Amino acid sequence: MPRKKASGETSRKNNPNVMGLRAAVVEEPITRTLETNYMPYAMSVIVSRAIPEIDGFKPSHRKLLYTMYKMGLLGGTRTKSANIVGQTMRLNPHGDAAIYDTMVRLSSGYGALLTPFVDSKGNFGKSYSRDMSCAAPRYTEARLTPICNELFRDIDADTVDFVDNYDNTMKEPTLLPTTFPNILVSANSGIAVGMASQFCGFNLKEVCDTAAAFLKRPDCDLSATLLAPDFPTGGELLWDADAIREIYETGRGSVRVRAKYRYVKAENLIEIYEIPYSTTSEAILDKVEKLIKAGKVREISDMRDETDLSGLKLAIDLKRGADPDKLMSRLFKSTPLEDSFACNFNVLINGAPKVLGVREILTEWAAWRTDSVRRRVAFVLQRREERLHLLRGLQKILLDIDRAVKIIRETGEESEVVPNLMIGFGIDKTQAEYVAEIKLRNLNREYLLKRTDEISGLEAETADLRATLDDPKRVKKIIADELKAAAKKYGEPRRTTILYQYAEAVDDTDTNAAEYAVHAFLSREGYFKKITPLSLRMGGEQKFKEGDALRQTFQTTSGAEILFFTDRCQVYKTRLSEFDDTKASVLGDYLPAKLGMDSGESVIYAVLPGDYSGFLLFFYENGKAARVPLSAYDTKSNRRRLTGAYSDKSPLVSMLYLTDEAEVAAYSTEPRCTLFHSSAIPQKATRSTQGVSVMTLKGKYALEKALLASETPITNPARYRAKALPSAGAILRPEDADEPQLSML
């Protein structure tokens, strides 16, 4: 059958606008689309955004620093960061947030660079913290650090090229004439399209010494002066000669860095005060927390971040008898406390990205720096020659000052003064203009003699400058002298210590964490024991203290976490691995003593939280019930005791742990009973909530207990089901209450 046309199809088909739209759609091969649309974007990202150039800066860094330089912030007072950001947008129109992020990374407060270029004041965040963010730019202040003198030295002496900014209203440098190889000193990373760049930092003094040695002898041993990467966050670098050689030769490879720590014996804790550059304190805390919760690390009682104005500090409280060195060896293996830094020395050379080794980088930098110095010398030479030319014209005037004055006085028109001087003394127009501009007060012999005395000095200086341009060795010496001066003035000791001999980190967490099935028993008097299935089968009847009886039993694994709730509204968190395996014939561990409870405090309920799913139901004497998610008891730190575990407004009579919704039976002392669904109790996030009323009580009566309906002997549940809460319930029939039930007492 022919298809029936939909309503309006004919009109759409004949619509001239639609016909024109279809005619405008042109098919073209995807290869052409990639070439004309995507490739220009990819090249723009590579060349103008993500990959650093030989001066060690990306365009965003260079635009920011040059703006600050033009604002007079090199040696001047600080100004608001918002002011700097606004001025930088004249060169970098990519939004204020991106510009401020660039400033933050270059700042001394953030600490991402060995040689920061921005002297910051205020909260700029920290590179070693994931969550410690910087303040808004209107609150912080900044200026350039003194080392920026090495970035902008002779920038106005034609040492680098200048180009128009994006709207052709001002000029900006294509590179900064750094007097030292900043490309190796400043850590830098970027992700372009199809490629990336990752530079580690090296110590400024080591880099300058290496560059000077390279200029003297290009085949020198780089590792003799450039020892290894240096990171602003410190730490300990694990020496690997092959890895260092690979980085120096190919520009690719990785190094391993460990955190630094000290053991405080008086407090039995470990203080970590330097961490690898590639991680954060939060990442370390999160990983250690996971190991603790999984039962793979048992020596730690608590771990916290104590970072303050004095610097980074992560504190680890140890349990009695724990070996700090063995623990740290295991943590090095299984946490970011030991991490790798991957190097990828991808740099733009004449607009093309290249992955270079250290020797190749120094070769390119030396060639570029040589050109900069030669341009500076040529610029100074030109200025000296221009000055010398003017003074030689003045020297001719000196021979007959009176004649010069006479020529000027007898000239009828101002425009004829310069031509008449040129004719009278045989000088060119430039020299005549200079003579004509001399003030009358300077037409004395002393002034003229002082000016002409400069001639001999300028002649010697220009000769020396020409000799410098013609002698590559002299240019190299200038570069080497500037390197040594920068190293002496701004050099600092290494922050990352090199460990030439070290023990490999040991990961024995898997061995320690080998878990097995166990049965756990909790008595009414607070005795707890853990028994393996084999021992349970071989043993006899469970032994309890006289007058004591079983409260709860569990089937779980030896490393499971367990929560013990007490009658003081507290909960104690521990693991079954803290308890020794025992037999049915012993009493077990007395929990108040084992867990260090308060005097007179006793356990009333235990929960195996697992992944902290499900919820707890608390029932109180006043007829109220509270529903609290078990996740409310999950903490990031390994705290052993939590206060405020439940409400203390009324005595607690029962607790129930449920993973799924179920029907619950509540009993009063009248005796009455009511059945209701657990979903009828609204969930509260606060542990100490009083809950809602589930049972109305008369006079002297109180709520006695609560059980799962499936665990009660009730034969006719319809009689007790509540239509709404709170409910008075129904009088309990004898056949529905034939055995004693568990209570909190």
Please compute the mean of the pLDDT values over residues 198-216 and round it to a whole number. Answer: 96
Residue-wise pLDDT for 649-674, tens only, equals 999 999 999 999 999 999 999 989 99
Least confident of 228-237, 254-263, 387-396, 469-478: 387-396
The amino acid at residue 602 is S
| Residues 6+ positions from 496 with CB-CB distance below 8 Å | 228, 229, 230, 231, 234, 235, 236, 237, 257
Strands 497-499 and 589-590: unpaired
| Residues 6+ positions from 7 with CB-CB distance below 8 Å | none
Do 312 and 273 contact (CB within 8 A), yes or no?
Answer: yes
d(CA 438, CA 418): 12
Please compute the mean of the pLDDT values over residues 560-565 and round it to a whole number. Answer: 92
How far is CA 649 from each of CA 68, 644, 695, rounded to the nearest angstrom? 63, 11, 17
What is the pLDDT, as a whole number, of residue 2?
46
Least confident of 349-363, 636-650, 706-720: 636-650
Nearest to 507 by CA among 326, 337, 339, 638: 326
Please compute the mean of the pLDDT values over residues 208-233 and round it to a whole number. Answer: 95
Q: Grade residue 443 by pLDDT with cuts at 50, 70 and 90.
A: confident
What is the pLDDT, as a whole number, of residue 641?
83
What is the pLDDT, as a whole number, of residue 642?
87
d(CA 551, CA 526): 9
d(CA 166, CA 61): 16
What is the pLDDT, as a whole number, of residue 506?
67
Q: Grade residue 442 by pLDDT with cuts at 50, 70 and 90.
A: confident
Q: Over pLDDT 70: what percentage of the chain?
A: 94
Do 582 and 588 contact (CB within 8 A), yes or no?
Answer: yes
The pLDDT of residue 368 is above 90: yes
In DSSP terms, which residues pair with 119 in a beta bridge? 143
Q: Grade residue 598 by pLDDT with cuts at 50, 70 and 90.
A: confident
- Classified as helix, coil or strand, 597 is coil
- Per the prediction, the chain carries an average pLDDT of 89
Q: Over pLDDT 90: what percentage of the chain?
A: 63
What is the pLDDT, as a whole number, of residue 14?
55
What is the pLDDT, as a whole number, of residue 3?
47
Q: Which residue has the higher pLDDT, 244 or 405?
A: 244
The pLDDT of residue 57 is above 70: yes
Tokens of residue 291, six digits: 């190991």
Instruction: Please give the CATH topology (third level) of the domain spanning 362-490.
Output: Topoisomerase; domain 3 (1.10.268)
Top mean pLDDT of 104-118, 321-335, 525-539, 679-693 is at: 104-118
Residue-wise pLDDT for 99-149, tens only, equals 999 999 999 999 999 999 999 999 999 999 999 999 999 999 999 999 999
For the domain spanning 51-178, the CATH number is 3.90.199.10
Top mean pLDDT of 300-304, 421-425, 493-497 is at: 493-497
**Which CATH class for the 512-736 domain?**
mainly beta
Please compute the mean of the pLDDT values over residues 539-559 and round it to a whole number. Answer: 86
Q: Which residue has the higher pLDDT, 35 or 654?
A: 654
Tokens of residue 650, six digits: 């009324």
The pLDDT of residue 507 is above 70: no
What is the pLDDT, as a whole number, of residue 447?
77
Residue-wise pLDDT for 258-284, tens only, equals 999 999 999 999 999 999 999 999 999
**Residue of 38, 41, 139, 166 marked catalytic:** 139
Please compute the mean of the pLDDT values over residues 381-401 and round it to a whole number. Answer: 87
Q: Grade residue 1 by pLDDT with cuts at 50, 70 and 90.
A: very low
Domains of the chain, by residue range, sit at 1-41, 51-178, 260-336, 362-490, 512-736
The amino acid at residue 532 is T
The pLDDT of residue 5 is above 50: no
Q: How many CB atoms lie within 10 A of CB 80?
A: 15
Residue-wise pLDDT for 154-177, tens only, equals 999 999 999 999 999 999 999 999
Q: Exposed (0-12), middle (13-18) or buried (19+): which is 322, by Cβ within 10 Å? A: middle
The amino acid at residue 205 is K
Please compute the mean of the pLDDT values over residues 569-584 and round it to a whole number. Answer: 88
What is the pLDDT, as a whole number, of residue 683?
92
Q: What is the C-alpha end-to-end distance of the chain, expressed in Å?
A: 82
The pLDDT of residue 394 is above 50: yes
The pLDDT of residue 7 is above 50: no
d(CA 272, CA 262): 7
List helix spans (H) across 471-587.
Answer: 472-490, 509-512, 533-538
What is the pLDDT, as a whole number, of residue 317?
93
Tokens of residue 90, six digits: 């004249």
Please compute the mean of the pLDDT values over residues 392-417 and round it to a whole number. Answer: 84
The pLDDT of residue 228 is above 50: yes
The amino acid at residue 679 is S
> Is 139 among the catalytic positions?
yes
Arch. (CATH architecture) of 260-336: 2-Layer Sandwich (3.30)
Please compute the mean of the pLDDT values over residues 202-207 and round it to a whole number. Answer: 96
What is the pLDDT, as a whole number, of residue 636?
63
